[in-house]
């Protein structure tokens, strides 16, 4: 804040208006610590550079003077300084077609997205609120500046930003905002997948993530498509159409207080802000209600096999959105195994070591440490699943304890030959066939035939090498 105020002071003493603008002002009014300070000024970019450099403040126009933005660096921190401007949008769904410099703060503010992001602050800490942002903070309301449909049609990414700010601030959107959203959906196909995915990721990590996801899905924005360009050819990419069928999906009341969608939101809200956990929670029941799994058995609703089908849907969905293969596989693994995990928690006679051995041989994990992390993630999603059922007697003690047990067991279970606890005796004994010998020992340990201990490994290999070869 001190360095931002220094920039304001330098510009003002040179005869120009300058204010902190946007999210930093909002955060200060909400008693939160701002992460970035954006500045607006009446000075043109060349003038900003000249004035600041005259006070030994380093500047660069890497962001682009053509956009009216200069970056100043003070004590290693960067500050974006934008000249007042107006924007005119055209065919592009996100970027303005024309940018023109403006003469007043009001003109600059009126081009922005939401009232809570449209307040300015001078160097004395006085807030200039031309759009009612303070009022909306008080009432925990997300409202667009000006006509909501126009704001969304100008920049369709604001539709996703609306969902994110609902989740970030724990606010409720106004009725006119919600009513305007579908009227701008025709602009969404012009957005790049990269930008949409970035907004989704940010949304998924926000404190009130369930609120933001609810707006995304109930508005039907999740059913829109964005685009990706490959080899010069644009291709439409459906965003999250798989989720809406969960809305109002009935569930068996003995186990669930909520419908499929509100159960899903409850599960997501009970996870930590981590993308693997949040996506795992969001998609854990994505296949419920699908024709191949939904049935009525003895008068009860069932969704047998929704974990397996859900894992397939998860892999398709996340791959389509361009997530890394390792991330896709982990989230799909969580979805696939969440029901089995619940079964093991509820059935003490189930053989957890057999399950560990199966996973060790599956090729899913590169080493024991990675498998341990996967069990911890699965247990956290399953604990959230228990709480998300809405039952007052729900307890996660057994779920978390079983998760710890599986995590500990995974460290004892080798995934790769490098995880074997052998010594130099095995190397000498195997000779030129060391690779073949270690693979044999790995299989023996994974199958539970021998423990992963130096003496046991040596004895097993010695026995194999001494055994006559069958003809």
467 three-class SS: coil
Alpha-carbon gap, residue 414 to 18, rounded angstroms: 62
Q: Residue 471 — pLDDT band, cuts 50, 70, 90?
A: very low
Question: How far are the Cα atoms of 363, 367, 442, 445, 446 from residue 422, in angstroms, in the given order?
Answer: 22, 16, 11, 12, 15
> Residue 406 above 70 pLDDT?
yes
Residues of the chain with CATH 3.30.460.10: 1-139
Cα(109)–Cα(84) distance, integer angstroms: 9
- pTM more than 0.95: no
CATH class of the 145-241 domain in this structure: mainly alpha
For the record, the structure tokens of 200 come out as 């989704």
- Please, what is the average pLDDT of the chain? 93
Would you state the pLDDT for residue 342? 96
Distance CA(188)–CA(186), nearest Å, equals 6
| In the chain, % of residues over pLDDT 70 | 98
DSSP strands (E only) in 85-187: 85-88, 98-101, 120-121, 127-128, 141-142, 172-173
- Residue 251 pLDDT class (50, 70, 90 cuts): confident
- The pLDDT confidence band at residue 65, using thresholds 50, 70 and 90, is low
User: What pLDDT is recorded for position 92?
Assistant: 72
Residue 206: how many other CB atoms lie within 10 Å: 21
pLDDT at 85 over 80: yes
Please give the CATH superfamily to which domain 1-139 belongs. Answer: Beta Polymerase, domain 2 (3.30.460.10)
Q: Confidence band (pLDDT; 50, 70, 90) for 2?
A: confident
**Per residue in 102-130, pLDDT tens?**
999 999 999 999 999 999 999 999 999 99
- Check: CB of residue 331 under 8 Å from CB of residue 280: yes
Indicate where the chain has its CATH 1.10.110.30 domain(s): 145-241
């Amino acid at each position: 804040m001190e360095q931002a105020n220094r920039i304001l002071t330098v510009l003002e003493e040179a005869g120009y208006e300058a204010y902190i603008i946007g999210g930093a002002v909002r955060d200060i009014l909400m008693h939160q610590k701002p992460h970035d300070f954006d500045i607006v000024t009446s000075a043109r970019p060349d003038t900003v550079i000249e004035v600041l450099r005259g006070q030994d403040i380093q500047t660069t126009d890497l962001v682009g003077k053509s956009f009216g933005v200069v970056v100043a660096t003070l004590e290693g921190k960067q500050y974006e300084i934008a000249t007042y401007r107006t924007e005119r949008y055209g065919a592009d769904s996100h970027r303005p077609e024309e940018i023109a410099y403006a003469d007043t703060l009001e003109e600059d503010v009126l081009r922005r997205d939401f009232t809570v992001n449209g307040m300015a602050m001078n160097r004395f800490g006085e807030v200039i609120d031309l759009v009612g942002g303070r009022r909306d903070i008080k009432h925990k309301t997300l409202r667009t500046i000006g006509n909501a449909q126009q704001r969304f049609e100008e920049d369709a990414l604001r539709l996703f930003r609306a969902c994110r700010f609902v989740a970030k601030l724990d606010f409720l959107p106004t009725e006119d905002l919600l009513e305007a959203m579908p009227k701008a959906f025709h602009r969404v196909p012009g957005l790049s997948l990269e930008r949409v995915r970035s907004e989704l990721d940010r949304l998924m990590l926000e404190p009130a993530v369930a609120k933001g996801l609810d707006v995304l899905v109930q508005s039907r924005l999740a059913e829109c498509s964005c685009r990706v360009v490959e080899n010069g050819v644009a291709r439409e990419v459906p965003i999250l159409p798989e989720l809406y069928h969960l809305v109002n999906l009935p569930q068996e009341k003995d186990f669930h207080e909520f419908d499929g969608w509100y159960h899903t939101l409850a599960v997501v809200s009970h996870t930590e802000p981590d993308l693997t956990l949040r996506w795992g929670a969001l998609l854990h029941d994505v296949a419920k209600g699908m024709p191949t799994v939904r049935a009525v058995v003895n008068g009860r609703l069932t969704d047998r096999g929704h974990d397996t089908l859900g894992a397939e849907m998860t892999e398709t969905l996340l791959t389509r959105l361009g997530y890394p293969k390792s991330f896709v596989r982990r989230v799909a693994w969580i979805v696939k195994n969440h029901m089995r995990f619940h079964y093991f928690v509820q059935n003490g006679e189930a053989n957890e070591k057999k399950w560990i051995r199966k996973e060790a041989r599956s090729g899913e994990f590169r080493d024991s440490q990675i498998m341990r992390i996967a069990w911890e993630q699965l247990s956290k999603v399953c604990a959230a699943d228990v709480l998300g059922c809405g039952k007052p007697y729900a307890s996660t003690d057994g779920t978390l304890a079983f998760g710890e047990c599986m995590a500990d067991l995974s460290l004892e279970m080798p995934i790769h030959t490098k995880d074997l606890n052998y010594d130099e005796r095995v190397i000498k004994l195997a000779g030129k066939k060391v690779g073949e010998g270690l693979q044999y020992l790995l299989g023996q340990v994974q199958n539970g035939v021998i423990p992963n201990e130096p003496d046991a490994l040596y004895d097993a290999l010695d026995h194999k090498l001494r055994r006559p070869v069958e003809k």
